[in-house]
Structure 1
Amino acid sequence: MVSLVLTSPFVVAQEYEKRSPPRKLTTAQAKVAEANYKKYCVLCHGEDRQGHVNDHAPSLRSQSLFESGVPHAILRPLSFGREGTPMGGYLDEVGGPMTLDEVWNLTYWLFEKSGAERVRLSTKPVYGDIKQGEKIYQKECADCHGKSGEGVTGPALGNQSALAHNTDEFIRYAIRHGRQDTPMPAFEDKLSSADIDNVTAFLRSRGKNWEMKKNILKALPTPEQYVINPDGKSPNFELSDGLYVSSHDLNKALVAKNKMVLLDTRVTSVWQTAHIEGAVPLPYYADLEATVKDIPKDVQIVAYCSCPRAAADSVIKQLRGLGYKKTATLYEGIFGWMNMGYPVMHGDVLD
């Protein structure tokens, strides 16, 4: 049961019932989970789970996150990703590289590493004044999370899949207690309990029109499909910093039907959702030598991601080490490409 404790005329602190810990991983399960973290997560979340290594990926060692978020607030984005962000889904059912058991075990491994104790959160709606919550949000939250919740240096609080997956109490808990080891402060000593409810209600109001659709997984390209426009001329890119090609120049080369290989270095689940036409999914965590053996070294290769460049840069660096010299990274990334109005292939969905 949740109890209320009056600590001052302004702030009402909330004490939460402790929950028993989830199942403990075996030594073998923990070893595999740690290896999966290093393979799939370190690039953005960091070796020590500190977060903000690339693309403002959140800390995965914050006490309040694991107190309130295990299992589902961790399991769901890990499994299905965050639509509209660089976070792809890692569950094999949506095109990712991990089984359901592996996703569960990684969730519990992260919890064990955090040292947190779980608390029991209510699943009931949080009610508040949405207009007042918006005023407070714009004053206290917009600098980091964006005026429309799009995310700046902090997570995108207006992300539709996040709002669909997270309970009101999970959101309120984060506002109240902050996120340790991150720039996100606790607001329990700054905002009244009513105003925390107002902000929670405002954020919840942003997620009313989200509709879940299931992607139909496409067949992955075969090696004979890797090179697009095989009879075309090679593009003559002028690379900035000897590495980067602009969206303008890449689109010009595609329109001219130049011969090249496009590598989508994101997790394969987001390639399934949307990708530049002709792109081959080659995730940043793939066994590169085994994967690229079918790609000729005399063809121009352009890699892209959504970080906007971290994953693609990592792959290109490895390719150059393997002797692939005609390589480049798309500077703006796929989100920049899309925002500039250039086309992508969208995945099929079941209504």
Structure 2
Amino acid sequence: MTPRRFAWMTLVLLGGLAGASAAQAPAPATPRPAQALSEQAAKQAGDHYQRYCALCHGRDREGHANDHAPSLRSRSLLESGMPVIIGEAIAYGRPGTPMGGYVDEVGGPMTRAQIVDMVRWLRQQAGVQPLAGERGAAFDRVTGDIGNGAVVYQRNCASCHGAKGEGGTGTALANPTMLALTPDRFLRHAIVQGRQGTPMPAFGSVLSEAQIDDVTAFLRSRSTGWTAGKQALRTPPAAGDYVINKNGSAPDFGALKDDRYVSAAVLDRELKARRRMVLLDTRVASMWQMAHIEGAVPVPYYSREEAFAALPRDGTWIVAYCECPRAAADSVVKRLREEGGFENTAVLWEGIQGWVSLGYPVVAGDASKPAAPAKP
């Protein structure tokens, strides 16, 4: 998948969540038809589901067979979570919950291609299509009163999801990985629509629009921990100030996988050692605001050449990352190497989804500040 194709897919699938009315379900969005799995691929995906997933999610995807695992036949989940949110949750798991990572990159039994087929199989079994919508709107933040959202949560949500988000009848929401990587509109869509076939009701006609915004904002504020206070938001680095740990020595990444890729464990080690480098977040800029590796510069894969003008040309290492998990970052590094003459460049192998899911830290961006250093 090319970076442009990936970004289009992500925004199409999730963008339809924007603008949902809290008083009623949003108007059906135009679905994007998806290619059906072959008979053999569908059988293998179904076999994989029964082998790896049915124990907790139920043999018929009904959910809550064990460990509060959610239903995987709920229309609202599948139409708003395809393919990225659900696929990456399968790949890297949910730290702090019984959901482990199933991709072979972290020791799991499935290849990434098999996980893609699994996600497509789940969608086909439920008979739903991903939502479509306005480009970019999916990653806009929902503005709400966090304090009032905490009150709304305790009155309407805690009896199922737990007073501290620990889960019960409902899914555990005190999950930093989930909260750091799922857009506000995904959370809001679940509140408005509920989860069909589960005890989770639709609150679109129960709570006001403001109350739904408030509880969405409250959940987002828990992404660094359920007892966290107000987040310290980061402002994008200014041009010419992209290097982190300016007085540090060069990182020792060792031999890069395929002469390009550095693992999350090695990157984290070198960051903790305060090595001099530049981190490029190559996702759409609004995703940098949601969560990013501290010190990262938002330089989307679609940026023009001016975006690279402020990069140091003194041999400083430049590490790029994205979410898919590598396509957008790969394209940027390819440009840096082939067109810009930058030699010390690398791509984060696991992407930010893997980074967060493996327990490495992220911070939130300041939505009041422009996140893109150059216009596309």
Query: Deviation at 1:349?
Result: 8.2
Contact 1:214 1:349 in 2 (8 A): no
Aligned to 1:142: 158
For 2:109, give the aligned amino acid: P
For 1:197, give the aligned amino acid: D
Query: Deviation at 1:5?
Result: 8.6
Contact 1:76 1:165 in 2 (8 A): no
Question: What is the rounded CA distance, in whole Å, between the counterparts of 2:20 and 2:216 in structure 1?
Answer: 20
- Pick from 105, 113, 121 the counterpart of residue 109 of structure 1: 121
Question: What is the rounded CA distance, in whole Å, between the counterparts of 1:215 and 1:202 in structure 2?
Answer: 31
Tell me if 1:28 matches 2:40.
yes
Rg: which structure is higher? Answer: 1
- Pick from 58, 61, 66 the counterpart of residue 70 of structure 2: 58
Query: Quick one: structure 1 residues 155 and 81, their matched pair in 2 at CA, closer, same or farther if it must change by over 3 Å?
Result: same
Query: Deviation at 1:123?
Result: 1.6
Query: Quick one: structure 1 residues 145 and 349, their matched pair in 2 at CA, closer, same or farther if it must change by over 3 Å?
Result: closer
Question: What is the rounded CA distance, in whole Å, between the counterparts of 2:47 and 2:19 in structure 1?
Answer: 42
Question: What is the rounded CA distance, in whole Å, between the counterparts of 1:65 and 1:16 in structure 2?
Answer: 14
Query: Deviation at 1:19?
Result: 3.0
- Pick from 208, 211, 216 the counterpart of residue 200 of structure 1: 216
Query: Quick one: structure 1 residues 166 and 15, their matched pair in 2 at CA, closer, same or farther if it must change by over 3 Å?
Result: same
Cα distance per residue 1:284-327 (max 9 Å; x no partner): xxxxxxxxxxxxxxxxxxxxxxxxxxxxxxxxxxxxxxxxxxxx
For 1:194, give the aligned amino acid: A
Contact 1:215 1:349 in 2 (8 A): no
Query: Deviation at 1:17?
Result: 2.6
Query: Quick one: structure 1 residues 86 and 5, their matched pair in 2 at CA, closer, same or farther if it must change by over 3 Å?
Result: closer
Q: CA RMSD in A?
A: 2.6
Aligned to 2:61: 49
TM-score w.r.t. the length of structure 1 is 0.57
Aligned to 2:316: none
- Pick from 187, 207, 232 the counterpart of residue 171 of structure 1: 187
User: May I ask how many residue pairs the two structures share in their alignment?
Assistant: 215
- SS at structure 1 position matched to 2:143: coil
Aligned to 2:85: 73
Query: Deviation at 1:89?
Result: 0.4
- Any unmatched runs of 5+ in structure 1? 217-347
Question: What is the rounded CA distance, in whole Å, between the counterparts of 1:28 and 1:130 in structure 2?
Answer: 48
Question: What is the rounded CA distance, in whole Å, between the counterparts of 1:145 and 1:124 in structure 2?
Answer: 25
Contact 1:79 1:89 in 2 (8 A): yes
Query: Deviation at 1:67?
Result: 1.2
- Any unmatched runs of 5+ in structure 2? 1-14, 229-262, 267-357, 362-376
Query: Quick one: structure 1 residues 30 and 176, their matched pair in 2 at CA, closer, same or farther if it must change by over 3 Å?
Result: same
Cα distance per residue 1:36-64 (max 9 Å; x no partner): 00110111111111111111211110011
Query: Deviation at 1:18?
Result: 2.2
Bigger Cα displacement from structure 2, 201-210 vs 25-34: 201-210
Question: What is the rounded CA distance, in whole Å, between the counterparts of 1:120 and 1:175 in structure 2?
Answer: 19
Query: Quick one: structure 1 residues 154 and 215, their matched pair in 2 at CA, closer, same or farther if it must change by over 3 Å?
Result: farther
Aligned to 1:153: 169
Query: Deviation at 1:12?
Result: 5.7
Aligned to 2:147: 131
Question: What is the rounded CA distance, in whole Å, between the counterparts of 1:21 and 1:195 in structure 2?
Answer: 34
Identity %: 47
Question: What is the rounded CA distance, in whole Å, between the counterparts of 2:40 and 2:90 in structure 1?
Answer: 21
TM-score w.r.t. the length of structure 2 is 0.53
Would you identify which runs of 4 or more consecutive aligned residues in structure 1 move more than 3 Å? 1-6, 213-216, 348-351
For 1:193, give the aligned amino acid: E
Question: What is the rounded CA distance, in whole Å, between the counterparts of 2:71 and 2:359 in structure 1?
Answer: 32
Query: Quick one: structure 1 residues 350 and 115, their matched pair in 2 at CA, closer, same or farther if it must change by over 3 Å?
Result: closer
Cα distance per residue 1:118-141 (max 9 Å; x no partner): 213622111101001100000100
Contact 1:64 1:174 in 2 (8 A): yes
Query: Deviation at 1:100?
Result: 0.5
Question: What is the rounded CA distance, in whole Å, between the counterparts of 1:26 and 1:138 in structure 2?
Answer: 46
Question: What is the rounded CA distance, in whole Å, between the counterparts of 1:198 and 1:349 in structure 2?
Answer: 28
Contact 2:20 2:189 in 1 (8 A): no
Cα distance per residue 1:262-304 (max 9 Å; x no partner): xxxxxxxxxxxxxxxxxxxxxxxxxxxxxxxxxxxxxxxxxxx
Query: Quick one: structure 1 residues 46 and 135, their matched pair in 2 at CA, closer, same or farther if it must change by over 3 Å?
Result: same
Query: Deviation at 1:117?
Result: 2.5
Question: What is the rounded CA distance, in whole Å, between the counterparts of 1:176 and 1:159 in structure 2?
Answer: 20
Query: Deviation at 1:214?
Result: 3.7
Query: Quick one: structure 1 residues 350 and 76, their matched pair in 2 at CA, closer, same or farther if it must change by over 3 Å?
Result: closer
